[in-house]
């Protein structure tokens, strides 16, 4: 009976169009994933006729293009938006300053700060004077325009771009950089009650004293994109992807390395689209993988292996370092140095093990000497086109057809010469040499 009486009450509480504040959390680097997240939230708030969209913000900064997109979304939002820098200890650094300033209501929790967070290009590091001035003036004009639209302190906000100024919550409130300081979400809603927001649909008087809140979360796709967009994850995906592709090229027919490599590379490029990638770093990573495979295949006596580890380290360091037209709203992004050192150590150890195992296998096998291999008959187990895999005795070798012709799987071949761990073979069998069955 009691449950039946509560039915209408519960139905009313869950009514999508009932007065409420839609609350979302935006933290970490501002990128295209965040743009998609904020866009969906505004659409959902409008669809549910929400009274207010609350963006709880904690960010060190992000990509300038993504920042501009979010600013545009906030300035054109049909629903009042409050950006709440919280919890205590949070910051609206660099790109976060633009986003906070673009909101209808800029609110900070005690113990938070707003302003530049040591942006890469704020001082023009790595840029010539003309380019540094161009970027600085462009972003300064953007922050002034936002301040004019929202009626906030233009000079103080411009100083966050010109001189990397930062303000505590109390300083920001006193200088009209933000509108309110609120202890928590309920306190903010109470203080917003009765204020007016100028939305794209006109002026809206806020009635937020008694409204409830609803959470708006990232969907599975956005969580996945955020995960792979981590600099360390994207670096691992790029390295594994390149390794898989190169292994497949040197050993056609294995299939698995190629499939894994293509998938990892596609995910890596998807992730790099959300990060300020330096393509020189990508080239060094790919070069490192090629050198690793060459060391195993042709025996560079360690020289190629050392070059591979150096190239991998350089690639990891350069991958997200920008030396050109960098984003002044972007904090420092790099691959963890411990990850680089660990991956380099693992690659080095694995390479030493593989090379030693390969040589030991051949040294102890029935065909241990080069003179024993030449003239021996084998069978193609991976099509030679012209590189592939052959079985000689009971050992598998990487082989190249002598005249660069294609030799199908299953055909017999004869070893003509040996270079390191690669055999040169021919489908023309010398009848004077006894065939090893």
**What pLDDT does 1 receive?**
42
**What pLDDT does 24 receive?**
95
Distance CA 290, CA 190 (A): 62
**What pLDDT does 370 receive?**
56
Range of the domain at 67: 2-218
433 lies in a domain? no
What is the rounded (10 degree) CA torsion for 167, 171, 176, 180?
100
**What pLDDT does 80 receive?**
94
121-168 residue pLDDT tens: 333 344 445 545 677 788 889 999 999 999 999 999 999 888 888 999
What is the number of residues in the chain? 437
Structural contact between residues 328 and 64, judged by C-beta atoms closer than 8 angstroms: yes
**What pLDDT does 357 receive?**
58
313 lies in a domain? yes
380 lies in a domain? yes
Q: Please give the mean pLDDT across all residues of the chain.
A: 79
Do 418 and 357 fall into the same domain?
no
139 lies in a domain? yes
Q: Which residues make beta-bridge pairs with 167?
A: 114
Query: Total domain count for the chain?
Result: 3
431 lies in a domain? no
The CATH number that applies at residue 418 is 2.40.50.140
Decide which of 318, 347, 364 is a domain's last residue: 364
Decide which of 218, 241, 271 is a domain's last residue: 218
Q: How would you label 19-36 residue by residue, b for 16+ Cβ within 10 Å and e otherwise? A: ebbbbbbbeebbbbbbbb
Q: Give me the sign of the Cα torsion angle 177, 182, 184, 187.
A: negative
223 lies in a domain? no
Q: Which residues make beta-bridge pairs with 82?
A: 54, 105
435 lies in a domain? no
**What pLDDT does 119 receive?**
40
Residues of the chain with pLDDT under 50: 1-14, 117-128, 131, 300, 324-325, 366-368, 434-437
Decide which of 184, 218, 252 is a domain's last residue: 218
Distance CA 7, CA 281 (A): 61
- Angle between helices 279-298 and 303-318 in degrees, nearest 10: 160
Structural contact between residues 121 and 327, judged by C-beta atoms closer than 8 angstroms: yes
CB neighbour list of residue 90: distance below 8 Å, 6 or more residues apart: 27, 57, 58, 109, 112
Distance CA 181, CA 88 (A): 11
Q: How many CB atoms lie within 10 A of CB 297?
A: 19
Do 37 and 149 fall into the same domain?
yes
Do 136 and 255 fall into the same domain?
no
Do 409 and 331 fall into the same domain?
no
Backbone angles phi, psi at 36, to 5 degrees: -60, -40
Residue in 360, 288, 352 with CA at minimum distance from that of residue 318? 288
Structural contact between residues 60 and 91, judged by C-beta atoms closer than 8 angstroms: yes
Do 180 and 276 fall into the same domain?
no
**What pLDDT does 251 receive?**
65
**What pLDDT does 41 receive?**
95
Do 205 and 241 fall into the same domain?
no
- At residue 44's C-alpha, the angle toward residues 34 and 276, to 5°, is 10
Structural contact between residues 415 and 375, judged by C-beta atoms closer than 8 angstroms: yes
314 lies in a domain? yes
* Spacing of C-alpha 267 from chain mean position: 9
Do 254 and 172 fall into the same domain?
no
Do 162 and 85 fall into the same domain?
yes
Do 307 and 383 fall into the same domain?
no
Bond into 175 cis (ω within 30): no
Backbone angles phi, psi at 272, to 5 degrees: -65, -20
Question: How many Cα atoms within 13 Å fall on the side-chain side of residue 16?
Answer: 6
Structural contact between residues 133 and 111, judged by C-beta atoms closer than 8 angstroms: no
**What pLDDT does 420 receive?**
66
Burial label, 324 (beta-carbon count in 10 A; 0-12, 13-18, 19+): exposed
Do 192 and 314 fall into the same domain?
no
Do 344 and 399 fall into the same domain?
no
**What pLDDT does 56 receive?**
96
Residue in 61, 56, 60, 58 with CA at minimum distance from that of residue 89? 58
Do 121 and 68 fall into the same domain?
yes
């Amino acid at each position: 009976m009691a449950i039946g009486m509560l039915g209408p009450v519960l139905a009313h509480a869950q009514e999508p169009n009932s007065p409420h504040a839609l609350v979302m959390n935006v933290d970490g680097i501002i990128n295209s994933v965040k743009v998609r997240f904020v866009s969906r939230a505004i659409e959902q708030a409008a669809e549910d006729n929400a009274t207010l969209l609350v963006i709880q913000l904690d960010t060190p900064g992000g990509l300038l293009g993504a920042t501009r997109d979010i600013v545009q979304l906030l300035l054109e939002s049909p629903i009042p938006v409050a950006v709440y820098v919280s919890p205590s200890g949070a910051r609206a650094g660099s790109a976060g300053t633009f986003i906070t300033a673009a909101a209808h209501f800029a609110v900070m929790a005690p113990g938070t700060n707003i302003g530049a967070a040591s942006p890469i290009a704020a001082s023009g590091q790595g840029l010539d004077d003309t380019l540094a001035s161009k970027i600085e003036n462009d972003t300064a004009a953007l922050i002034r325009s936002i301040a004019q639209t929202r009626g906030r302190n233009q000079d103080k906000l411009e100083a966050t771009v010109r001189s990397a100024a930062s303000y505590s919550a109390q300083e920001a409130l006193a200088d009209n950089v933000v509108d309110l300081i609120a202890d928590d979400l309920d306190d903010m809603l109470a203080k917003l009650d009765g204020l007016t927001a100028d939305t794209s649909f006109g002026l809206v008087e806020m009635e937020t004293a008694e409204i409830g809140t609803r959470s708006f979360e990232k969907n599975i796709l956005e969580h996945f994109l955020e995960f792979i967009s981590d600099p360390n994850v994207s670096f691992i995906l790029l390295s594994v992807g390149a390794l898989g592709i190169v292994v497949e090229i040197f050993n056609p027919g294995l299939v698995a390395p190629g499939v894994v490599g293509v998938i990892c590379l596609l995910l890596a490029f998807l992730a790099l689209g959300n990060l300020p990638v330096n393509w020189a770093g990508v080239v060094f990573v790919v070069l490192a993988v090629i050198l690793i495979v060459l060391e195993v295949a042709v025996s560079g006596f360690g020289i190629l292996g050392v070059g591979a580890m150096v190239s991998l380290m350089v690639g990891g360091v350069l991958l997200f370092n920008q030396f050109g037209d960098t984003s002044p709203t972007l904090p420092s992004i790099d691959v963890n140095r411990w990850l680089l050192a660990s991956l380099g150590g693992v690659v080095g150890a694995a390479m030493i093990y593989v090379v030693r195992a390969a040589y030991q296998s051949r040294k102890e096998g029935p065909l241990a000497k080069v003179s024993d291999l030449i003239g021996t008959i084998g069978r193609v187990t991976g099509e030679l086109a012209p590189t592939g895999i052959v079985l000689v005795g009971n050992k598998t070798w990487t082989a190249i057809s002598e005249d660069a012709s294609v030799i199908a799987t299953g055909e017999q071949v004869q070893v003509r010469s040996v270079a390191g761990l690669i055999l040169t073979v021919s489908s023309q069998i010398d009848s004077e040499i006894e065939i090893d069955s």
